[in-house]
Amino acid sequence: MVNRVDVDAIKRELSLFATRHRAALDEVSRRQAQFLEIGAMALVVEHYRKKDYAVEARGLDASRLFHAKLGSQGNPANYSWFTCRRGTAEFDVYLNLPVLGSYGDGGIYVVDVGVVRAGSLPERRQGEPLAVRNEDLIRACAFFCVSVGG
């Protein structure tokens, strides 16, 4: 059985998404896995917008370009993300977010789209791995789960 991705539908949704948020998406590699990750993020963020959350693109550059984190390496704070707010609820949505495992094995797992409590991204400390605590993870979409530590 072959799974097929409706690339045209994802392109349309991404176009509407970028227009709605008035953020220009930086040119993205044409690799299907990365396209799928960005599409998944757009769908997650649009889900919350449709549930009456206020959605704000954060970490944009001076030209208001959204810089997607398209791999497991790098500090998520150096890339763009979304903040969703409704009432007292507030959380952040990141691409390729490293999260500490819940199994007690010391593993760090990168989820394609991570929804975490606002402000839970830790400060990077020299020589230490960077990962969000598992208890701060609200939702995760992982099409590919990669162990990068432990």
- The yes-or-no verdict on residue 3 having pLDDT over 70 is no
- The answer to whether residue 89 sits within a structural domain is yes
Q: pLDDT of 66-97, one tens digit each?
A: 999 988 888 999 999 999 999 999 999 999 99
Tens digits of per-residue pLDDT, 37-60?
888 898 899 989 999 999 999 999
Q: Are 92 and 121 in contact (CB under 8 A)?
A: yes
Confidence of residue 22 (pLDDT cuts 50, 70, 90): low
Q: Which range marks the domain in which residue 23 is found?
A: 7-147
pLDDT at 4 over 70: no
- Structural domain contains residue 2: no
What's the structural domain count of the chain? Answer: 1
Q: Specify the residue for token string 């949704």.
A: 13
pLDDT band at 147 (very low <50, low <70, confident <90, very high): very low
Whole-number average pLDDT of the chain: 81
* Three-state SS annotation for 10-45: HHHHHHHHHHHHCCEECCCCCCHHHHHHHHHHHHHH
- What pTM value is reported for the model? 0.74
Q: For 93-114, what is the mean pLDDT?
A: 89
Determine the pLDDT at residue 58. Answer: 95
* Alpha-carbon torsion (43, 86, 55, 124), positive or negative: negative
Structural domain contains residue 37: yes
Give domain status of residue 104, yes or no: yes
Q: What DSSP character marks residue 66?
A: E
